[in-house]
A = this chain, B = another copy of it.
Amino acid sequence: MQLISATLVQQVIQPRPTASYKGNYGRILIVGGNARFGGAAILSASAAVYAGGGLVSVATDAVNRDALHARLPEAMIIPYDDANLADLLQSMTVIVIGPGLGTDETALKVLNTVFEAVAPEQTLIIDGSAITLVATHHMRLPKARFIWTPHQMEWQRLSGIAIAAQTPAANQAAAAKLPGTVIVKSHRSEIFTPTRSYQNPVGSPAMATGGSGDTLTGIIAAFVGQFGHRDASILAAVYTHSAVADLIASDHYVALPSMVIQALPGYMAKMAAASAND
């Protein structure tokens, strides 16, 4: 397994070209947040905005509108059972589905709407309960550019490999059967592309707190939206999430998602400056 390096991150986070506008940095839709887990969608969307995503929308249970806007007026909202969701999906660069989605009938229906609307050139990040739904219902996958972000238990459900047996080789073989890229999250997350595998060398147990995974999905979405759908963007996103948390953990016992999100623009500016100095 190759370790992701800070150098790679600096190669990805380039200074922005002067003549650019928000449409150049991705149209991102976060699909998730039921009545119980609304915070997950808010964190994912917040990470997407603070990591530089151009235009961020959230499809969620309507009960989450107030809290989303109170925290993040930069985002737009559509109830995930709105008849216009399918249309909105088609205008997106990157779609995240899963943070706080749950696994009930509504969640399944929303996931089906996404699977029906998604187009081959769109990035589709499958996270959390959406992974469980795919695994449990043996759902047929649409054509899209997939990124899977299971934690170890979700990976067991999806791959059939018990946690204890999740060796790099086994994971690689299972990942190769899925379309796209798989990120198996743990204290040292592993990333599997169809042909290669990587490990994240940074991060700490200060990230072991609710909402970390949701935050990661937003960062990946923003990086793909800005820097293109390529392995380097995904790897840089995983590294950035942990590197920012490490900075916070140097003087905080926990690196809460809200703190990580706030610190993203500063870290990315440093990486872009290092990039420009090369």
Residues of A in contact with B (beta carbons under 8 Å apart): 13, 16-22, 24-25, 35-40, 42-43, 46, 49-50, 52-56, 63-78, 151, 186-187, 204-206, 208-212, 249-254, 256-259, 264-266, 268-272
Whether A74 pairs with B265 at a CB distance below 8 angstroms is no
Whether A39 pairs with B74 at a CB distance below 8 angstroms is yes
Counting chain B CB atoms within 10 Å of each CB, the highest count among A13, A20, A54, A72 belongs to A72
Chain B neighbourhood of A70, CB < 8 A: 66-67, 70-71
| Bound-state Cα–Cα, A52 to B268, Å | 26
Give the number of copies in the complex: 4
Q: Given the known A-B contacts A65-B63, A187-B19, A187-B20, are A211 and B252 also in contact in the complex, defined by CB atoms under 8 Å?
A: no
Whether A21 pairs with B251 at a CB distance below 8 angstroms is no
| Bound-state Cα–Cα, A69 to B46, Å | 13
Whether B187 pairs with A38 at a CB distance below 8 angstroms is no
Whether B67 pairs with A69 at a CB distance below 8 angstroms is yes
Q: Given the known A-B contacts A16-B208, A18-B187, A22-B210, are A77 and B38 also in contact in the complex, defined by CB atoms under 8 Å?
A: yes
Whether A76 pairs with B16 at a CB distance below 8 angstroms is no
| Bound-state Cα–Cα, A16 to B205, Å | 6
Whether A18 pairs with B205 at a CB distance below 8 angstroms is yes
| Bound-state Cα–Cα, A77 to B271, Å | 37
Closest Cβ of chain B to A14, distance in Å, is 10
Chain B neighbourhood of A264, CB < 8 A: 253
Closest chain B residue to A212, Cβ basis: B22
